[in-house]
Amino acid sequence: MGISQELHVIGRPLLEAQLAHPTVRGIARGDLPEEVFRSWLEQDYLYLVDYVRVFSRLAWQAPDAHLGTLVDLAYSTWHEELDLHRSLSAEFGADLGGAQKGPACVAYTAFLLESAADYGNGLAALYPCMWGYSSLGRILAENPPAEPRYKAWVDTYADPAFAALSDRIAQMIDDVRPDRAEEFFLEGMRHELAFWDVP
């Protein structure tokens, strides 16, 4: 079993906790109050801007075999995932330009940016976001919400292309074998769960 598979095993309880979280359950049913999703959109937009910076910091340290993946991830996050947020923000009345980070966003982005000072452990720290959202998307897509805006969100993270990017990061973690992968991964998973507590 590779390191990434071991991370999946230890991360599963925190993934299950996300699936049980009221915010995720509301998205799954399609009845999450608009003001809650609006706030989440604003926070996640600010998070993703820093996530691009994390990919970029790791790319600077990456071996040649990993460099293209990290550049592609920075690009796709900026141009595709953030485009989804920009589109949904118009439909939910989110103020992306005027939003301020809440405590969970501040803590999570600080953790990621600091973790990215070390290449391998930085990969382990960012992996919970990719693996978690890919897993959530796949599971929620089994019974997608009828509400089209929430379905668009689910479809984005259920996309096989997104799963392939997550799998690529898993392979990179297995290649590098970070010395503190479990520690950084679990801390990232705890931040992922806390992020659903919308301010």
For residue range 16-54, list pLDDT tens digits in order: 999 999 999 999 999 999 999 999 999 999 999 999 999
Report the pLDDT value the prediction gives residue 193, as an integer from 0 to 100: 98
- pLDDT tens digits along 119-173: 999 999 999 999 999 999 999 999 999 999 999 999 999 999 999 999 999 999 9
Determine the pLDDT at residue 199. Answer: 74
Place of tokens 């910091």: 57
- This prediction has a pTM of 0.94
Q: What does the DSSP 8-state code read for residue 153? A: H
| pLDDT at site 113 | 97
Question: What whole-number distance in Å separates Cα of residue 193 and Cα of residue 173?
Answer: 22
pLDDT in the model for residue 175: 96
Res 95 pLDDT > 80: yes
Q: Is the dihedral of CA 88, 91, 97, 101 positive or negative?
A: negative
State the pLDDT confidence band at 81, using cuts at 50, 70 and 90: confident
Torsion over CA of 173, 105, 116 and 87, rounded to 10 degrees? Answer: 70
In the numeric block, which tokens belong to residue 125?
């720290």
- Confidence at residue 59, expressed as pLDDT on a 0 to 100 scale: 96
Which residue reads 């659903």 in tokens?
Answer: 196
- Give the phi and the psi of residue 110 in degrees, each rounded to 5: -60, -45
Length of the chain: 199
